[in-house]
Chain A
Amino acid sequence: MTIDPAGLIDDRPDEGIFRVDRAIFSDPGIFDLEMRHIFEGGWVFLGLASQARAPHDFFTTQAGRVPILIMRDGEGQLGAFVNSCPHKGAQVAQTRAGNARIHVCPYHSWSFDSAGRNRGIKWQRAGCYAAAFEQSDHGLARLPHFGEYRGFLFGSLAADVPTLAAHLGGAARFLDFVVGQPPAGVELVPGAVTFTYDANWKLQLENCSDAYHFTSAHPSYIQIMERRQKGDSAAAVRSIWDQSQAWSEDAEGVQGGSYSFEHGHVLNWGRIGLTGSHPLFESAGDIAARHGAAGRDWIFNMRNLTIFPNLQIAENASSQLRMIQPIAPGRTLMRTWCIAPSGESGAARRQRIRQYEDFFNPSGMATPDDTVAYESCQRGHAGRVDPWLQGYARGMTAGRAGGNRLSDAIGASPRRSVLADSQLCDETLYHNYYREWARRMAAGVGAERA
């Protein structure tokens, strides 16, 4: 019998209390509900439109536990299908990406075109099929919902969901800013990096929005950036972090903050400003022309955007796109890429890639200090003497309903906002994750009982 998820989030705003029960990170029943009602029960991020640019291009991806095939058909229309043959279930596409007018299933050679239609059943006439079979559709199962916003592709395996525009809500405004969104769109730098960690997917969900850990988990990285800046080291790689005042004790005034949007999406940001070590520096003028001065300033801020539940885009001196793929309560697969504006100069691309590798890679000097900490939390979560975690309390008295002058300047409309100095490190933005989590879990459990 599964624990009731409703009892695992202690959310009492009037009393200033928000606590999370450790069980949400390790209970197998909870994990199963999350897969069914969050990852397979609503909108998830699937990939970028630029991963299939030409007619008949395809790529494979995942929605929860379900393999997905995204194809661009002969007319240039993108479609999303379950990558599983209607005959006996084999995966119709075997590779991560490619180009094919026809996909022939490897098991018994049923074939499908790039619009997902069945184009052949081997030895159909000799098959002595009943009329009922002949009259039914043998194409690939199409996802009930599939849509694109600014080059980002989302789909839902469940039919009963809001429109994509409603799902993204005010958070869409921040997809408008990803790597400056040039007219040519956004793309993934060749070379996907995949890693696993032995801990729950929500540890990654939270960490992306966690300003509090930076100086604690990454002092070695910060010191190396300082060394490089001083020229102690021959390496030419530099990071924008080393020019940021956001992490120094004496920084005054607003240095960043967070926004919470409907449906669990969250942005946290830090002030960095225009510097030559930013790969978009060369495009600052064009960016201002397209997005206005306020939009440009946002684009040059450090931003960590989560589109609940599985997309995270981290932008600082470089830019990472992450897909969170839960495997088990205590195991998560991360698919990560360097996301970049299409058409940027060779010098900017090189700078973006170099600044990416040391910070974002699991083979770099920062991410391992996060993922090892997640594993440490996961082991620690076994302790249930006091099941309630206290990591959701910073900023409790700092938040306000709606946006602020900075979001007003770009017409963004968050549900909640926090303005922070360098040491506030808001934790109330996680409330937004868990309120959406609790809402979706309760709706799912309710529907199962009905």
Chain B
Amino acid sequence: MTAALSRSEAEDFLYLEAALLDEGDWDAWLALYTEDAIFRMPAWRDEETLCSDPDTELSLIHYDGRGGLEDRVFRARSGQSVASHPRPRCVHVIGNVRLIDGADGIAEVASTFTVFLHDMRADRTHHFFGRYRHMLRHEAGTWRIARKHIVLLNDTIPTVVDFYSI
């Protein structure tokens, strides 16, 4: 039997990831990723073109393996990063979910996101928005993220952007 994913299951999955990020349940968030997960948010080559090759063009974030994300979580919780504490209040709103492919234990899901965040210290509210592309893999009886590609559309970063605010 090969696993298949429906659109509503894909939506539930993305909502769960968003909730875990927003609520700070980052161990559960990390557990959604495969060991070899690729996590990437490319920079923009120019006004209209996204960087495509991570080895010759810059990314805002690029990890080949979940360990990079584990480092980010470690830092955000370390109490040793002034940028990470107090943690900004964030809400992810996920929309326009489309199932690109969802058979044979592999699924590709396209969606859009808006993250609203409030930085208490600066008393500043702003938002990030863009597109997600999730590649999911059915592994040990559950769907996990094997690849997440984030297109950040408003990429003039107001001071800080971190894994929990995109």
**Do these two chains really belong together in a complex?**
yes
Q: Residues of B contacting A194 with CB < 8 Å? A: 155-157
Report B65 CB to chain A, min CB distance, Å: 4
Q: Residues of A contacting B41 with CB < 8 Å? A: 363
A350 engages B61 (CB within 8 Å) = no
B159 engages A197 (CB within 8 Å) = yes
Binding site for A on B (CB under 8 A): 35, 41-47, 51, 54-68, 70-72, 74-75, 78, 80-84, 121-122, 124, 155-162, 166
A95 engages B56 (CB within 8 Å) = no
A191 engages B71 (CB within 8 Å) = no
A-B contact pairs, 27 of them (CB 8 A): A95-B46, A189-B58, A190-B58, A191-B43, A191-B59, A192-B43, A195-B157, A196-B157, A217-B82, A220-B80, A221-B75, A223-B74, A227-B71, A233-B70, A234-B68, A235-B67, A350-B55, A353-B55, A357-B58, A362-B157, A363-B162, A364-B61, A368-B160, A369-B83, A372-B83, A372-B121, A375-B122
Binding site for B on A (CB under 8 A): 95-97, 189-198, 217, 219-221, 223-224, 227-228, 233-237, 333, 337-338, 346, 349-350, 353-354, 356-358, 361-365, 368-369, 371-373, 375-376
The distance in angstroms between the C-alpha atoms of A111 and B124, with both chains bound, is 43
A349 engages B56 (CB within 8 Å) = yes
Report B160 CB to chain A, min CB distance, Å: 4
Nearest chain-B residue to A351 (Cβ)? B55
Q: Residues of B contacting A371 with CB < 8 Å? A: 83, 159-160
Interface centre among A193, A198, A223, A365, by most chain B C-beta atoms within 10 angstroms, is: A365
Nearest chain-A residue to B69 (Cβ)? A235
Report A370 CB to chain B, min CB distance, Å: 8
8 residue pairs, one from A and one from B, having the closest CB atoms: A191-B58, A234-B67, A191-B43, A368-B83, A195-B157, A235-B67, A363-B60, A368-B160
Q: Residues of B contacting A375 with CB < 8 Å? A: 121-122, 159
Instruction: Decide: A363 near B58, CB < 8 A? Known: A191-B45, A233-B71, A237-B68.
Output: no
The distance in angstroms between the C-alpha atoms of A371 and B84, with both chains bound, is 12
B57 engages A190 (CB within 8 Å) = yes
Instruction: Decide: A373 near B82, CB < 8 A? Known: A192-B43, A198-B122.
Output: yes
Q: Residues of A contacting B45 with CB < 8 Å? A: 190-191
Q: Residues of B contacting A353 with CB < 8 Å? A: 54-59, 62
Interface centre among A193, A227, A234, A353, by most chain B C-beta atoms within 10 angstroms, is: A234
Nearest chain-A residue to B58 (Cβ)? A191
Q: Residues of A contacting B56 with CB < 8 Å? A: 189-190, 346, 349-350, 353
Report B46 CB to chain A, min CB distance, Å: 6
Q: Residues of B contacting A96 with CB < 8 Å? A: 46-47
B57 engages A189 (CB within 8 Å) = yes
Instruction: Decide: A193 near B60, CB < 8 A? Known: A224-B75, A372-B160.
Output: yes
